[in-house]
Amino acid sequence: MIPGDGIGPEVAAATRAVLDATGVSIGWDERPAGAAALETAGALLPEETLDAIRDSRVAIKGPITTPVGEGFRSVNVALRQDLDLFAAVRPARTLPGVRTRHQGVDLVVIRENTEDLYRGIEFARGSPEAAALARELEDLGGFEVPSDAGVTLKPISVSGAHRIVRFAFEYARANHRRKVTVGHKATVMRYSDGVFLGAAQEDAVDYPDVPWEDIHIDHLSAKLVRRPEDFDVLLLPNLYGDILSDLCAGLVGGLGLIPGANIGWEYAVFEAVHGSAPDIAGRGIANPIAMILSGAMLLRHLGELEAAAAVERAVDVVLERGEVRTGDLGGDASTTQMAEAIARALTAADAQ
Ligand code: NAD
């Protein structure tokens, strides 16, 4: 367990209480990352924390604040790259008792997690490296990069695209989903998004039972906000996946509700989609549901299918009753009260 920064420790404690209430025996190993780790261990992502995840192979983490500016590599990006957690899975479904514009939303964003503009290949404006890159690009193809431009590169590899495409189709098949929609802009970014789309076209042939379509990312955004019920699994490169998973969170009632998993061949790290919410940190009012539902995904990953379903049901029961709600849902309950209500709903269901 990595509690993280901001509201992280608050929602992490709530999650731990609910997961313990399932009766599944979990040996917790708490490790720091983020601002807390910088203070105590001198690094944002201490090697011991990485080793602990490698050791247990699964982790659940709270959000981590990424200091804006020079010299800091995002801990989240580093974790995903160092552990090769190439697939992010983010389900967003209509939850009972949460008022939203659309009903019947049941989406899963599957986002490539290691490549694209988030690969971290960047050249600072005015740096000798940026100048060298500009000269090289001029030589290579007459490309003109203004001398006052900062540059971020967008690599998308054939191997990286194939593994996420296959992951998404396998996921759709295993979870009996209706279809896979691939979002891209291959008409403009022919050699990066083009690789992504090409991989989908090639691999889809092996999944004749999984309907699929491709659509430009801008058009997809417009359609999603109008008719989200038309979509099911959204397979997206890294940057689009990041943006659209927040959009999907918005569709079903906000960031406080959406869980997520980062999955690789060897390791898996579960975390809410939301960030460290500095605006409400330390006040005990954050909604813990996103991290609690991430905990349910962790339980399912471990094969604890009944406990996972029980946590999801307990969340539904509490939301449907509507008696205990945090501020983002229009109530005034605390993080702890929400967790206690969910834990009670779990044990009440057990007793039936
Ligand atoms: P944020 O998700 O932290 O907050 C956006 C808004 O949503 C805020 O108004 C916040 O109060 C609200 N919110 C978020 N989670 C909530 C919850 N559980 N309950 C109630 N309200 C909630 O996004 P941000 O402000 O853009 O980012 C803050 C920091 O978090 C940044 O440093 C960013 O880099 C980091 N971040 C980390 C992760 C992660 O660790 N996975 C993800 C996103 C952002």
**C-beta of 63 in contact with ligand 1 (< 6 A):** yes
Tokens of 161: 């695209």
Active site residue 118: yes
Q: Which residue among the candidates 5, 116, 185, 328 is catalytic per the annotation? A: 185
The single-letter DSSP state of residue 57 is: S
Residue spans of beta strands (DSSP E) within the chain: 58-61, 87-93, 106-112, 122-123, 151-152, 180-184, 212-216, 233-236, 261-263, 268-271
Q: How many angstroms separate the alpha carbon of residue 126 from the centre of ligand 1?
A: 31
Worst-scoring range by mean pLDDT, 71-75, 188-192, 205-209?
71-75
Alpha carbons within 13 A on the beta-carbon side of 113? 29
Q: 166: how many CB neighbours lie within 10 A of its CB?
A: 16
* Ligand 1 site, residue 35, Cβ cutoff 6 A: no
Give residue 266's pLDDT.
96
Range in 36-40, 42-46, 144-148 with the lowest mean pLDDT: 36-40
Distance from the Cα of residue 344 to its chain's centroid: 28
Q: What is the pLDDT of residues 87-119, one digit of tens each?
A: 999 999 999 988 899 999 999 999 999 999 998
**Sheet with 212-216, edge to edge strand ranges:** 58-61, 268-271, 261-263, 87-93, 106-112, 233-236, 180-184, 212-216
Q: Which atom of ligand 1 is nearest to the CA of 291?
A: 18
* Alpha carbon separation from 207 to 5, 49, 113, 179 (Å, rounded): 41, 38, 23, 11
For ligand 1, pick from 73, 238, 273, 274 the residue to mutate: most ligand atoms within 8 Å of CB: 274
- Using pLDDT thresholds of 50, 70 and 90, give the confidence band for residue 41: confident
Q: Is the confidence at residue 51, as pLDDT, over 60? A: yes
The pLDDT of residue 221 is above 70: yes
Verify whether residue 240 is a known catalytic residue: no
Q: How big is the CA angle at 197 (ends 192 and 200), to the nearest 5 degrees? A: 135
Task: Give mean pLDDT, residues 176-184.
Answer: 97
Is the C-beta atom of 277 inside 6 A of ligand 1?
yes
310-350, pLDDT tens digit by residue?
999 999 999 999 999 999 999 999 999 999 999 999 988 65
Check pocket membership of 80 for ligand 1, CB cut-off 6 A. no
**pLDDT on residue 202:** 98
328 lines ligand 1 (CB under 6 A): yes
Q: Choosing from 193, 242, 246, 328, which is the catalytic residue?
A: 242
CB of 255 shorter than 6 A to ligand 1: yes
Model confidence band, residue 255 (pLDDT cutoffs 50, 70, 90): confident
- 142 pLDDT above the threshold of 70: yes
Return the residue whose CA atom lies nearest to atom 11 of ligand 1.
Answer: 277
- The band of 68, judged by pLDDT with boundaries at 50, 70 and 90, is low
Per-residue pLDDT, 39: 83
Q: Which atom of ligand 1 is nearest to the CA of 4?
A: 40
Let me know: does 18 contact 346? Beta carbons within 8 Å.
yes
- With a 6 Å cutoff on the Cβ, whether 286 touches ligand 1 is yes
Q: Whose CA is nearest to atom 22 of ligand 1?
A: 256
pLDDT at 296: 98
Yes or no: say if 58 and 100 are a contact pair by the CB < 8 Å rule.
no
pTM for the whole thing?
Answer: 0.90
Atom number of ligand 1 nearest to Cα 62: 40
Residue 71 has pLDDT above 70, yes or no: no
Residue-level pLDDT at 349? 66
Task: Give me the percent of the chain exceeding a pLDDT of 70.
Answer: 97
Pocket test for ligand 1, best of 255, 269, 325 (most atoms within 8 A of CB): 255
Where residue 69 falls among pLDDT bands split at 50, 70, 90? Answer: low
pLDDT in tens, 194-212: 999 999 999 999 999 999 9
